[in-house]
Chains A and B, each alone.
Chain A
Amino acid sequence: MKQTKKARLSAGQIALIVIGVLFFAVMLVWPLVEVLYRALKGGWALYWSAVTAKTTLSALRVTLLAAVIALLVDTFFALAASWLLTKFEFRGKSVLTTLIDIPFSISPVIAGLAFIMMFGRSGLATPVVNWFNDTFGTDIALVFSIPGVVLATIFVTFPYVLRELLPAMNLQGCAEEEAAALLGAGGFTIFRRVTLPHIKWPLIYGMVLCAARAFGEFGAVYAVSKARGETFTLPLEVDALYMSGGAEAITQAFAVSSLLVLLALVMLILKNIAEWRAKKSY
């Protein structure tokens, strides 16, 4: 039955709305405005020079590279894992689900630490990497290098795509896939022709969230990246500028931050589009 929303709100309801909107304005909108204000405080010239500085551009490159690789890895994992978790019943499924969620509840600093423990000086896997380098004459370093940044980004963003994909896959059920399998379709055909059209928008939604998280990762990357202008990402560049302490450097830090704010806003818009499309396709 249709229901008309009550046109007139009571005083209590208006008070609730005011509290909510005020909280939203102070906690979420104000910081956004503050970033832009502080970024432009030193004038356009300073802003432009900060944004186009060599270190900034290098950091932008590293950020995008890490995010894209993490996104690909996470999406590949999400597709495989969501197929596994929604189409089959097996022992240990709930344990597996819990393990996959670990990065959600772990400090990013621990993620960075974990990679140093693995691949750093006297790390557990360091002999393996050294052996590989000796044998093939390569010079791969897995921490304090680009691969380390990528690995740390993957770690913290690992379950993001999957989390958004699982509910959609669950909703979709198995009936259509079973029907297709009984008609003799192979696994990849079933996935591409039957499953994918249903989960397209939830998948994109998850990828957007994952990318947003990847752009902004700080703690984990901070632990494994030490070379400004080489392995620094944008958030690390912001940190470096901010911590150097000068008033001008701080303004530059906010200028670089404004790039990240822009990225975040683009991601939010994409997220809302994907969400809206996902809702519409059900």
Chain B
Amino acid sequence: MFIETRQLCKRFDDYEAAKDITFGVEQGKMAALLGPSGSGKTTILRMIAGLEQQDSGDILINGKNVNDVPAGERGIGFVFQNYALFRYMNVYDNIAFGLKVQKKSKAEIRARVTELIQLIGLVGLEKRYPNQLSGGQRQRVAFARAIAPGPSLLLLDEPFAAIDAKVRKELRVWLRDMIVQVGITSIFVTHDQEEALEVADDIIILNEGHIEQMGTPTEIYLHPQTPFVAQFAGNSSVVEGLPGFRGFEKLPKGQKILIRPEFVDAFKTDNLQMQPYADRAEDGVVTGISFRGSSLEVRLKVHGITLLTNRSLERREIRLGEHMNVFLHRVYCIEGERTQVVENELLKDISME
């Protein structure tokens, strides 16, 4: 592990921002601290940076305990949520700031800054001031400024929060590529699960100051261990019991169940591909259709329960009130603090046919 935290705890007057936080990130990897606002993710990032002092616990960078090392000497680059660019310095001076602090020679500074400006693709904008830049450009400058002194670890606090939705995706890919190219270990904080799933090698899910689950995006997505993770990763609905659904008869009455749209299939009776499922499906009525950009989100009422599913725009048009066959592949049972995957028992029959 390149960066490790051990039993980090932090308390602000009336609430616990971090409880027993222990995790590690390997050299060259990119980790995401994912959680809703107030989950303590920013506090953890600031403790690693040295901007906040933990009440107890240790922080190790490259095996060395940095508890008593001041923020500026930990070898960490930090990209702030609003970028915190120096308003009275132009792009060049912003990027050069950390190098000037290190008392590098003029020639060295010039060489390094020029290299970075080329890297972030802002050649020609060196003399611009932050307020003359777009949100995306500002983020690029903030990134360059953070890595200019050559840190071994990069921390990013909600790096995309201040950017338009349209540019955000583009910038996400750019930042991911940049970090891979520079080869720096990094941790970023986000409340956007899609962002974390897309960009990070590892995800640490936080809730009310403690870690709910850690793992790769695939692990988190397919095997959520707690109800919180199951609900947080993915767009899902929670119901109590599945009365009348064939294949789920064994579920106890009133059991709390979480259903993901990806595991709900809705199709017309004459759909040949879905023929094997048709006999085992339930009857549902379309109660709502909303446009979601690249797909439709369809709401269906089945046995008095409302289910969500996504429908590709390529498929046949459907209308409100229309009847469809609905097949549930799997659901998540919530038992206390754990979740468990329950497959539709009829799937066995289908695979045998």
Contact = CB atoms under 8 A, between A and B. Distances in A.
Contacts of B42: 1
B43 interface: yes
Summarize B's interface: helix, strand, loop or mixed: helix
B53 to A, nearest CB: 9
Contacts of B88: none
Contacts of B12: 2, 4
Contacts of A4: 12-13
Interface string B13-44: 10000000000000000000000000000110
B13 to A, nearest CB: 7
Contacts of A2: 12-13
A250 B46 CA distance: 62
Interface string A1-39: 110100000000000000000000000000000000000
A1 to B, nearest CB: 6
A1 B39 CA distance: 11
B166 to A, nearest CB: 28
Interface string A234-252: 0000000000000000000
Size band of the B side of the interface? under 10
Contacts of A1: 42-43, 46
Nearest to B15: A2
How extensive is the interface on chain A, given as a class?
under 10
A44 to B, nearest CB: 50
Nearest to A1: B42
Contacts, number: 7
B165 to A, nearest CB: 24
A108 B210 CA distance: 65
Contacts of B13: 2, 4
A1 B80 CA distance: 13
Interface in A57-92: none
A5 to B, nearest CB: 11
Contacts of B46: 1
A182 to B, nearest CB: 33
B46 to A, nearest CB: 8
A2 B12 CA distance: 7
Nearest to B46: A1
Nearest to B37: A1
A53 B43 CA distance: 67
B70 to A, nearest CB: 12
A1 B189 CA distance: 14
B49 to A, nearest CB: 13
Nearest to A2: B12
A2 to B, nearest CB: 5
A135 B42 CA distance: 80
A86 to B, nearest CB: 26
A71 to B, nearest CB: 41
A2 B10 CA distance: 12
Nearest to B43: A1
A1 B37 CA distance: 10
A64 to B, nearest CB: 48
A241 B43 CA distance: 65
Contacts of B43: 1
A10 to B, nearest CB: 12
A125 to B, nearest CB: 51
A1 B43 CA distance: 8
A4 B12 CA distance: 7
Interface in B39-81: 42-43, 46
A1 B12 CA distance: 10
Interface in B189-218: none
A4 B53 CA distance: 10
A12 to B, nearest CB: 15
A4 B42 CA distance: 15
Nearest to B51: A3
B45 to A, nearest CB: 10
A202 to B, nearest CB: 29
Interface string A193-218: 00000000000000000000000000
Nearest to A4: B12
B18 to A, nearest CB: 12
A160 to B, nearest CB: 32
Interface in B140-179: none
Interface string A134-148: 000000000000000
A4 B43 CA distance: 12
A4 to B, nearest CB: 6
A4 B52 CA distance: 9
Nearest to B40: A1
B71 to A, nearest CB: 13
Interface in B266-309: none
A16 to B, nearest CB: 20
A4 B46 CA distance: 13
Nearest to B12: A2
7 nearest A-B pairs in the assembled complex, by CB-CB distance: A2-B12, A1-B42, A4-B12, A1-B43, A2-B13, A4-B13, A1-B46
Interface of B: 12-13, 42-43, 46
7 contacts: A1-B42, A1-B43, A1-B46, A2-B12, A2-B13, A4-B12, A4-B13
